[in-house]
Amino acid sequence: MMPPRPDAAEPTPRWPRWRRRLAGSRALVTGASSGVGRAVALELARRGVRVLATGRRGERLAALADEAASLAGGPLVYEAGDITSSDFRRRLVDAATRQLGGLDLVVAAAGSGAIGRFRDASPDTLARIMDVDFTAQAELVRVTLPALRAGSDPVIVLVGSILGYHPLPLHAEYCAAKAAVRSLAGTLRMELANDGVGVLLASLGPTESEFWNHLLTGHRPAWSRGRAMSASRTARIIVRAMAWRRREVLPGWRAKGFAFGARLFPRLFDRVMMRRLRRSPPVS
Ligand SMILES: NC(=O)c1ccc[n+]([C@@H]2O[C@H](COP(=O)([O-])OP(=O)(O)OC[C@H]3O[C@@H](n4cnc5c(N)ncnc54)[C@H](OP(=O)(O)O)[C@@H]3O)[C@@H](O)[C@H]2O)c1
């Protein structure tokens, strides 16, 4: 059992410090068995944060705990399970209370994708993607809020996507889930401000990870095979944004360019994508 953070009982200052002090905080990171969640968990541990990491693959989490131990930063413990289960989400809060003494940071990075035309997809694909990419994040916030409100300078990080700004063909379910995440972040930011709980939306562009290896349906479209940012660089940008109390972060120029361009030229974006779709039809 780890000792509680020394200043955990201190109230959040009325005028928060300019920068959030991360060292000594207690964090829950979902999707930590690979990709962005894994890199965020390591980056937090490197900065002296005590991390509870989660994902379904326990052997990956055990390897992550070993790697974190070699960093001589904050210790990393883990709990394996399915984030779409409400029982498991409650278990995570119990584990955080038991093993970390509470919670100050929650990073919701678990997610998965599906590719294909909406008309050909099954209702099950929509239900699964909404469950993993949206409902599990939203319900994780609900179940962790009491612990966060009792924590020190707390922040919630929702990992979204640039596709939450503007949808693409063949990604209907995923884009809808990420748009919902973006909307939820906006609501929570206002509702939780008086409780002193910060909300950061990280809208990622193409990122190196195992995302495309674990699609629920379909294959990666040829036109999405451009250069991607590394998960470790993405994680450093996200953690820096947590420290600087940012509301939203779009890591890298490709992500920023997409969100900015889609807002300014939505019809042009659609036309380009429709042409790409005609030239490279989806693999079913
Ligand atoms: N890669 C990109 O280009 C990109 C772009 C925009 C946004 N994103 C978002 O970034 C986040 C991280 O994805 P990634 O790119 O790092 O992909 P990834 O390497 O496939 O990681 C996904 C993580 O989510 C976990 N996960 C999936 N389903 C789960 C479930 N039912 N219960 C518990 N954990 C589950 C996986 O762990 P287990 O398999 O061990 O359960 C894994 O740790 C996602 O929200 C994704 O939508 C990624």
CATH for 106: 3.40.50.720
In a domain, 145, yes or no: yes
* pTM for this model (two decimals): 0.94
- Which pLDDT does position 8 carry in this prediction? 47
Which 3 state secondary structure label does DSSP give 168? Answer: coil
Task: Kindly indicate the confidence band of residue 12, based on its pLDDT and cuts at 50, 70 and 90.
Answer: low
Measure 150 CA to ligand 1 centroid, in angstroms.
28
Read off φ and ψ for residue 167, nearest 5 degrees.
-80, 160
Best residue among 211, 214, 250 to mutate for probing ligand 1's pocket (most ligand atoms within 8 Å of CB) is: 211
At how many degrees (to 10) do helices 266-279 and 253-264 cross? 110
Pocket (CB within 6 angstroms of ligand 1): 31-37, 55-57, 60, 82-84, 109-112, 132-133, 159, 161, 204, 206-207, 209-211, 214, 228
Rounded mean pLDDT of 251-260? 95
In a domain, 214, yes or no: no
Do residues 6 and 21 touch, judged by C-beta distance below 8 A?
Answer: no
Place of tokens 């042009």: 268
In a domain, 254, yes or no: yes
In a domain, 21, yes or no: no
Number of structural domains (the chain) is: 1
Residue length, the chain?
A: 284
The pLDDT tens digits of the residues spanning 214-240 come to 999 999 988 777 789 999 999 999 999
In a domain, 20, yes or no: no
In a domain, 80, yes or no: yes
Domain containing residue 78: 26-206+229-279
* Burial class of residue 213 in the structure, from the number of CB atoms within 10 Å of its CB (0-12 exposed, 13-18 middle, 19+ buried): exposed
Measure 10 CA to ligand 1 centroid, in angstroms.
34
Do residues 83 and 96 touch, judged by C-beta distance below 8 A?
Answer: no
Best residue among 34, 135, 212 to mutate for probing ligand 1's pocket (most ligand atoms within 8 Å of CB) is: 34
Find, among 101, 104, 135, 128, the residue nearest to 114 by Cα: 128
